[in-house]
Amino acid sequence: MLKKFIHQFALAIILFAFAAQASCEIERRAVLDIGSGGTKVAIADVDNSSNQIMDIIFENSFSVPYQASLDRSYDGTFDEETKFLGLETFEKIKEITLQYEVQKITALATSAFRKANNANDFINKVFLSTGIHIRIIPQREEGEIAFNSALATGNFDPNQLLVWDIGTGSMQMTVVNQNHDFTVYMGEHMGSVAFKSHIIDVIQEKEEDSSSNPISEEELKKADSYARAFARKAYPIIKEKINNSASIVGIGRLFYHSVRPLAAIDGVITRKGLRNYIESALNKSDEDLASPYADLDVTNCILTLAVMKALHIHEILPIETSATRGILVTASYWNE
């Protein structure tokens, strides 16, 4: 009798294991997040049933100055040099996906591609050369992806969370609203490079290829006023979440790799840290600042502090993640 029970129990364990294996199908996915300053690539093994990341296989970014190309353009198009570098980059990425035996690829393009008059022609050329289908997404979708990326990275309460993403060409602030949907406050021309270009072109009236440094006290006041005017127009629910002590999370390169090293105290970006850095950087050239990113560091900090002041944000938690994480775990991008 005992032997029969053991046999039945063992058989049940085997059947359960087969059922679990059948329901947990691992899919190797590649995400291409095509931003205004380059393309981020992530390759991961994902549980197809739960859309949970099991293992990150490969992560890298490839610099292509799409937004800078548009800033130089007289007709709103990517120039030939940028298109050549972009195509070369996608061909390299295709080789990487073949090397890692990727099963599915999702490629999403953002701000610079929304603006460029020749974006669709370039996308067609990429498809013919590599078979990679690029989809240009609306800015609202960028915000939703950023929010999901934050959730995929940290243990946050989605109802008490504001995710702030500043890219090269645009900015998004995203929260969950009362209808359990997303509300995204968008600044299509408030990205890192776009803000710096405003300072150079409008405030300083310098040549396009110039550095914004050195920045004077008067120029700082004008840049601060410009960014604060944008922030004050944020939707009431954005302000409500901030007033109700929602966690403010900054994702992306700007927060983690540019602003955090300059203005974070114990890993948290504060107004005091930003003020101290900006004051120390005023009236200094790129050479004086001695940073490989000096042409953007100061303007990034000015933009961040201005928005924080306008919306009464006291601190930001920068997390090291990118939109690729959010895309990897969102079923709709893989079930089409």
What class is the 155-319 domain? alpha beta
Q: Where are the domains of the chain?
A: 26-137, 155-319
The torsion angles phi and psi of 301, rounded to 5 degrees, stand at -70, -40
Which spans in the chain are helix H? 2-23, 66-72, 80-99, 111-115, 119-130, 139-153, 192-198, 217-232, 236-243, 253, 260-263, 271-281, 286-289, 294-311, 323-328
Beta pairing, strands 247-251 & 315-319: parallel
pLDDT in tens, 168-204: 889 999 999 999 999 999 998 899 999 999 999 999 9
What is the C-alpha separation between 131 and 118, in angstroms, rounded?
19
Encoded tokens for 94: 């295709």
State residue 18's pLDDT score: 42
pLDDT band at 336 (very low <50, low <70, confident <90, very high): low
Residue 209: alpha-carbon gap to chain centroid: 25
- Lowest mean pLDDT segment, chosen from 13-27, 116-130, 133-147, 265-279: 13-27
1 has pLDDT over 80: no
The torsion angles phi and psi of 56, rounded to 5 degrees, stand at -85, 120
What is the C-alpha separation between 238 and 141, in angstroms, rounded?
17
What class is the 26-137 domain? alpha beta
Residue 192: Cβ-neighbour burial (10 angstroms; 0-12, 13-18, 19+): buried
Whole-model pTM over 0.85: no
Closest CA to 246 of 237, 235, 255, 254: 237
152 has pLDDT over 90: no
Closest CA to 306 of 145, 190, 138: 190
Domains 26-137 and 155-319 share a fold: yes
10 has pLDDT over 50: no
